[in-house]
Chains A and B, each alone.
Chain A
């Protein structure tokens, strides 16, 4: 089918100095579902629209199937896009909406009807083919938007936050259906979301953007276990990683309050080569535990989720209070006001003052 490549692609909106997307390099192999994730305004939509041809590429190039499409208009790129608000044609029935692209290609009516029918069957839209979009529920509209994309059998699917207008439960359900559909069709897909959970659960690989700059592209597991910088570390994972500023004291390693942090060999080695100074240490809540020894603190909040719980504990660190989130079992007996001890089993992530990861 198709592979997609961004090469130093930048977009600078007229009237602004700062690029909305800066020098993006990304290689997306055939059949992959790549998720672009980042906070609002980080340039995800812009990057996607550059690939769609809806936004100019001011510098660099974009390739589909190693063909340079930087200057190709959207109608000649053979891509299908699902918009955040679905952008269905309001005056057309569901059937006409889904068949619109085929009609533009001059596909004969019987074949068009057949392909629409097939897509409608996959998406459970058969009873609604003669309705107008305004007479559909949000979830049904979302499926019509999907149907409009899959009917075309395009080279690439582009999706810009397609689930953000659904309620939470439907979003989770549709998320898996969508991932499954993509895997079955095997069409290269670029999927934009601001929701890191969606990114982690759906993406074969996830690209994290911040201020128009690509931070890291990796498989979800790697992104979680080896964030390359402070931003990715804080952005990926829910609840977020505990990030603590720690002054290193030369040979002594790093301490969280009175607790010596277990660093892996490589990190300890790299850290020893650096000057003493202020580093940021990251520990995920599941790598801390309530124990019989460790740093003492007082519980402020217990978030009980049933299968697990997150305990917020205030400890003393470098002369001030510090809030740590610790994962505990579900139905924990711990309550607000309890005095607890926290120990750390690692891994521990260490970031230099400039935010870069230290160690492997």
Chain B
């Protein structure tokens, strides 16, 4: 427990831990000291001088070392000769801070007048106008008139693209350095910096392509003026015109808390539309940050290509029908079917959908299969993170192991949080076949050959790293699927679980196994009992009625497409006409999560609730409702209302015991304090009033088991080893649809080769070639990367090439 310090701010007495800065202490006391450059998530720099306050400290008698007392017995205070910056000055015992004296008021006014000497004040067309710290502080503390003519001010061309996502307005920049510091200290991408000095100072990008960082959008949130705007939102709406709907990002397994800002839009014929995605504070998940995929990748939700009507196949063609007809067709089939229903669901579905589909399958003597390319979720349910876990509290004495995953690409915010944990003193151990951005701050980083992960893990546990891991006070293990299929990652998960169990790192907060899934609710599917099929092709070939929801197996794998083509009766519920849907007998339009409520379970096992941001635009239903309607026609009772479904789910699933939508909506005060009124303090991130979510209880009694290592592909003469990897800007089941704004960063079908392997085969970067994999040819583009181990050919997942585990590949 740090020492507490008593001080007085204006007339309020405050007690705060030693080392607290005056600004933060004042915030605790409900006094807002205006700031521009200070940000509670970053070290203070004292650049803008907006936070000047008058500080008095007790006079100490040099002879006795005791405070000098006034006649009335109170300690004698002495004010410093100058005002001090509240953002850089830590509190001390007996201090008196005055922030409302005429001296301070005059200083603030001067600073603001100074800042405005080169500010265009084009608030009417500024995206920040309405939520602008400079605007608010000028109104609150600034001069009422300018002594500078517009013509005398500094003028620059208005729109300077820093990258294709962020535009800079140099006239508006007040040189606070928040963006530069964020990129350097928090995002670890020092890709923008100051150029020149004094009034000429401007922000410049130092990379090609410009502003090459996957966290770039955050700078526009924390910029205290409208100097940094996003290409996506520019002029999209005024802040006060938009509604704010709390939701959860569905692009990866981290589960960042977001807000969908919506407004009526002429392009949508006067309907509501999502205008931007903003972070919502959850210090246990994403703090106040988002990655660019989450921020800019939402466009698929309101795509014009979404399915709008149910369809059934008649004479080989899919024709639109009513919901009644579609449901009838399914029900008839189920009634006459020889055996039940096979549900194949992806991790994109909400908990409620998965639960209802499972109940329907169970009632119909059917089975539920999980469509995934990664195993191990049964183990994360037993030895995963326990309630009370928070990566932000990992530090000295704790350890984190990351196996077979490039977190920077697969789960950017986890990467960010581990970076901070390492900075706080946690030991990060990385085991990956190639260099990743985790190595930047890893204490121990080891490599292995693709296919040799189990040996590498055994060696790692036996060595020095094993010591670090087993002796850590808390241990979290992240496992991914780089170069691994379902069985391979299952084996890795088992080996990691064994270590956790063996070293007593289970069942406690901040200890456990985390799967780096690529879908928002993969963990939820595992928790609800969905398991991948041992042999999916066989299962699908045998099934009589197949329902595929939230997954596109045919698009991923031509072999599965072939099987599904032959299926007896295929029902597909999806947002788009996927390859699987094209082969269906009945196609049902599903509702995107932005138009309904529900809950996702993040990789950290945190169940979080999202709400409807838009009214349902098309004639679409949730998968939960589809299941309920079909059930009703079969004479079964399955609830339709999502809160009720969740209650039922919680009652029947041990890990969810005691949870309800209301519980998920509970919040408690978080540090640093944000508030929408003083936007200058921490940017435009939303305060969390809609719920912090709850971590699932751990169930089952974890026991060590021998991992089953899958066999390696037989070596083929002259062939490379095809290795599936996961990239951020893919076209995966998560991003679903290409977002035009991220278009330039999106990857297509490509193969990554080591420079030497490429040279031997006479291939240059960018060459369009064909690769031979699984007895078919695939056109790809060559990417040459020195981090790729020799003999390996890395294939990003979900761009249409069926690379799911290691395989032989010929060029």
- Same assembly: no
A residues sitting closer than 8 Å to B (CB atoms) are: none
